[in-house]
Amino acid sequence: MASTPPVDLSGLIKFKALTRGRREARRQFALVREQLAEIQSIGRNHLLYIEWQGFSERYEKIERDMRENTNTCLSFLTAHRDALVPLVKSDISVKDKTETIEQFLKALQPFVENAEELQYTLGKLTDDVETFPDRVAEAVWAACPWYMKLWDSIKTCCTNLAKWLWEVVSRVDSCMADTTSLNEKMPLLPKLSSKPEAPIECVSLHAALQNLQSAWRRIEMPCKALCTSLQLAKMMEDPESCAMFIGNADHVSTQLQQYCQIFATD
């Protein structure tokens, strides 16, 4: 069996940094919830506030399920190292080894499926969080009286037009010594329609959820790789080939065990 590769310290450090997204996500969910409560046209009884509470509960369940899955996976990986890997040095037949591998594959498959499902669920929540501020902005805008909408529209149009004029002046100045046609360098006319600005900010939360997605992917992918190595080992009739793939599985499981340990305890 191949020797155990050195520990990837830089990878573990990066993974640990990514897992900190969990704490930041919890903090940001609470922060946005308070922001929604303080918006006069939203408050704690608004459907958007209730929906955000649902987002928070979804996240708490995702994080809880992730931690539970990694804890259970750690127990499985311990059994893998203690029972499956020694098969490489044993004198039992390939058929008996195959049966043992099959048992481990059956035990491993639920972890792979759970990891995929959690990654999908977290991705869906991340998408919902990303679009939420615009929905809040639209709700606040809809609740504004007509004269405030008119005044905001005028201010927005004037601001956009002023920015456009400033850009035109800057472009003209830069084109004075350029032979390129001035028309080709003119900025497009600004949109004069008023778009409400979001009164809440979810950029930090969205980034934290993306970091958590990246961290979980570092658990999901080795799970799949471990499953693949065991499936290939099961297909081998030659003892040396079987041992080689079991050795590969051992290498993958070592890395996966390190990631699960960090995720479960951090």
Q: What is the pLDDT of residue 75?
A: 84
Give pLDDT, residue 35: 93
Residue 84: per-residue pLDDT: 67
pLDDT, residue 154, reads 66
Amino acid 217: pLDDT: 94
Q: What is the pTM of this model?
A: 0.75
Using alpha carbons only, what angle is made at residue 55 by residues 51 and 61, rounded to the nearest 5 degrees? 140
Q: Which residues of the chain have pLDDT under 70?
A: 1-8, 81, 83-85, 87-92, 94, 143-156, 164, 168, 170-198
In the chain, where the domains are located: 9-145+201-265
Distances (CA, A) of 213 to 30, 109, 116, 217, 218: 20, 20, 11, 6, 9
